[in-house]
């Protein structure tokens, strides 16, 4: 599928600052503390008191290499940190004459959170929790930071001793962000549209951040058919609305999209036309996070109404009206090669059609699209910084269609960011894959102007669930190309891509000939 023209921003993983040594008071444990006694390989006799967080096996494994009191404290402290317990204190009492050490574990508590009410809601349940881990705090910080940023607020958390003895205080400062804009958007013009229904597209995007965790958006695009001969007389429009809310339990949203088209002279004398309406309820929960990784779940319930007609609606080619459920998971992790940072991402999803047979989704044969379709999706990417400001991005994505898919669930390739040597939608099938590697130069700057270059290689293929005798299974295209992105001092940007074919398999001559010399996208944010 196409990479698209816009990228959703993912907040940085928050790494808690090193806390000041808290004054902690031993409090009632969540379960009885057990006394552990062991003798290390070096003959050091250890007694551990007050532990309720780590298992005896974990304590023994951590302390076995200890040969001195100092080493025992260091090893035990590291074991608690690895398990994520950041408010644990240790007090050692050595007896050199007998080579014995008594270690008192002091399990501290977060006793107070100081933050504005909206942000403080993300930390409910953390105070006086003996099992509070660094990972749990990072997860809450990520969501709280998203909430604050949507309200035009900064995010500065810190840990310190609480005013009362025996606890720690979490303070979250949220100063106003001077550059915050509650209303923003962009105007986009490019030739990334469908060849026959307006290859040149003018679009507008609008984003509103009214506060309290809300994000509202609207978009509209219109094909400009008469700028190219192939799309003369055609019509193409698309628009949508979306809303999402950050809560302590995740991010939840609603989106509505509608698109319509009508072929002009290229579709004579039948003049095909169609509409697609999509509405979706979405949810995403950040399940686990660490300073370098995160894992989340996502769900969606989507309704699709797609209709395709000819002869001004006199005859219906397709009437696909159905609901489907999406369940998915996504993980990401920061990586490092030497001193160069990078990140890997992996996502998997399962889509299940829920509707009964209706419209043209009524034929129970392998070659016909099914209302209760099923498919798996998978994507993986690796972004890596290289020396001297260069970067490399390798991505793979794909879909496995378990049965014949409705039109809007097919795997579609071709166009800007997806087999850029060909026109949009050049290949489609029930399943397929796309491999894409991009190398990017550092930015070159001159008096406020900025430019960078990219070189890329792509390979994509599609397949259908049902294959008639004599019809090849996979159809594949591959290309290589270059791109340039120019940015003006007033933030106007122009991106240009040009690619040329390098390989193909089982595609027709007409498919190979449907090439695009250059793609461009001109964008002005406001």
pLDDT at site 31: 55
Please state the rounded mean pLDDT for residues 400-409.
97
User: Which of 173, 203, 220 is where one domain is finished?
Assistant: 173
* pLDDT above 60: residue 85: yes
**Is residue 507 in some structural domain?**
no
**Is residue 138 in some structural domain?**
yes
Structure tokens at 74: 């260091």
User: Which of 157, 173, 189 is where one domain is finished?
Assistant: 173
Torsion region of 59: left, alpha or beta (phi above 0 gives left; psi -120 to 50 gives alpha): alpha
User: Which of 239, 271, 303 is where one domain is finished?
Assistant: 271
**Is residue 279 in some structural domain?**
no
| 204 shares a domain with 259 | yes
Distance CA 248, CA 124 (A): 9
* pLDDT above 50: residue 517: yes
Tens digits of residue pLDDT in 235-276: 999 999 999 999 999 999 999 999 999 998 888 999 999 999
Q: Are 1 and 434 in contact (CB under 8 A)?
A: yes
pLDDT at site 48: 94
| 267 shares a domain with 191 | yes
CATH number of 68's domain? 3.10.20
**Is residue 453 in some structural domain?**
no
Tens digits of residue pLDDT in 188-222: 999 998 877 768 999 999 999 999 999 999 999 99
**Is residue 495 in some structural domain?**
no
**Is residue 368 in some structural domain?**
no
Tens digits of residue pLDDT in 456-496: 999 999 999 999 888 888 999 999 999 999 999 999 999 99
| 267 shares a domain with 208 | yes
- Exposed / middle / buried, residue 208 (Cβ in 10 Å: 0-12, 13-18, 19+): middle
| 79 shares a domain with 156 | no
CA pseudo-torsion sign 222, 225, 227, 231: positive
pLDDT at site 164: 67
| 166 shares a domain with 119 | yes
- The domain of 233 spans 181-271
Neighbours of 301 (CB within 10 A): 14
**Is residue 241 in some structural domain?**
yes
Q: Are 368 and 357 in contact (CB under 8 A)?
A: no
| 262 shares a domain with 186 | yes
Pairing of strands 110-114, 168-173: parallel
Neighbours of 377 (CB within 10 A): 19
Pick from 486, 483, 464, 485: which is nearest to 473 by CA? Answer: 464
Tens digits of residue pLDDT in 350-365: 999 999 999 999 999 9
The count of domains in the chain is 3
**Is residue 424 in some structural domain?**
no
């Amino acid at each position: 599928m196409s990479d698209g023209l816009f990228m959703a921003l993912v907040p940085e993983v928050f790494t808690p600052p090193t806390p000041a040594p808290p004054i902690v008071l031993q409090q009632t444990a969540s379960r009885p503390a057990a006394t552990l006694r062991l003798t290390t390989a070096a003959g050091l006799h250890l007694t551990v008191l007050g532990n309720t967080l780590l298992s005896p096996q974990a304590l023994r494994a951590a302390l076995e290499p200890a040969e001195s009191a100092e080493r025992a404290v260091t090893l035990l402290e590291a074991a608690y940190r690895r398990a994520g317990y950041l408010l644990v204190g240790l007090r050692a009492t050595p007896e050199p004459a007998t080579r014995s050490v008594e270690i008192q574990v002091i399990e501290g508590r977060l006793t107070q959170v100081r933050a504005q009410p909206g942000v403080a809601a993300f930390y409910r349940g953390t105070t006086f929790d003996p099992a509070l881990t660094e990972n749990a705090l990072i997860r809450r910080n990520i969501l709280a930071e998203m909430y604050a940023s949507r309200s035009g607020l900064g995010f500065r958390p810190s840990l310190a001793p609480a005013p009362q003895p025996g606890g720690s205080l979490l303070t979250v400062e949220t100063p106003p962000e001077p550059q915050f804009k509650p209303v923003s958007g962009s105007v986009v013009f490019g030739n990334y549209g469908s060849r026959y229904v307006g290859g040149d597209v003018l679009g507008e995007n609008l984003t509103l951040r009214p506060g309290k965790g809300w994000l509202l958006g609207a978009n509209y695009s219109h094909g400009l058919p008469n700028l190219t001969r192939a799309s003369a007389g055609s019509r193409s429009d698309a628009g949508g609305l979306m809303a999402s809310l950050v809560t302590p339990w995740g991010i939840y949203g609603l989106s509505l999209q509608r698109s319509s088209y009508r072929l002009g002279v290229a579709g004579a004398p039948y003049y095909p036309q169609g509409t697609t309406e999509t509405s979706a309820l979405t949810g995403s929960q950040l399940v686990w996070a660490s300073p370098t990784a995160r894992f989340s779940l996502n769900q969606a319930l989507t309704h699709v109404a797609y209709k395709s007609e000819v002869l001004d609606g006199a005859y219906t080619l397709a009437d696909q009206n159905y609901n489907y459920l999406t369940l998915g998971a996504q993980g990401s992790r920061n990586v490092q090669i030497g001193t160069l940072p990078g990140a890997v991402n992996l996502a998997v999803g399962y889509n299940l059609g829920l509707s009964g047979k209706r419209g043209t989704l009524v034929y129970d044969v392998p070659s016909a699209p099914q209302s209760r379709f099923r498919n798996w999706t998978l994507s993986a990417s690796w972004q890596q910084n290289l020396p001297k400001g260069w970067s490399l991005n390798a991505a793979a994505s794909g879909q496995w269609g378990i049965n014949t898919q409705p039109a809007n669930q097919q795997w579609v390739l071709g166009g800007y960011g997806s087999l850029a040597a060909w026109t949009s939608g050049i290949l489609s099938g029930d399943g397929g894959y796309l491999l894409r590697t991009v190398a990017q130069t550092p930015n070159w700057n001159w008096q406020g102007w900025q430019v960078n270059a990219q070189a890329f290689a792509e390979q994509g293929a599609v397949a259908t669930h049902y294959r008639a005798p004599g019809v090849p299974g996979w159809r594949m295209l591959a290309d290589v190309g270059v791109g340039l992105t120019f940015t003006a001092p007033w933030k106007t940007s122009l991106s240009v891509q040009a690619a040329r074919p390098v390989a193909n398999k089982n595609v027709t001559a007409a498919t190979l000939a449907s090439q695009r010399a250059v793609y461009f996208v001109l964008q002005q944010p406001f």
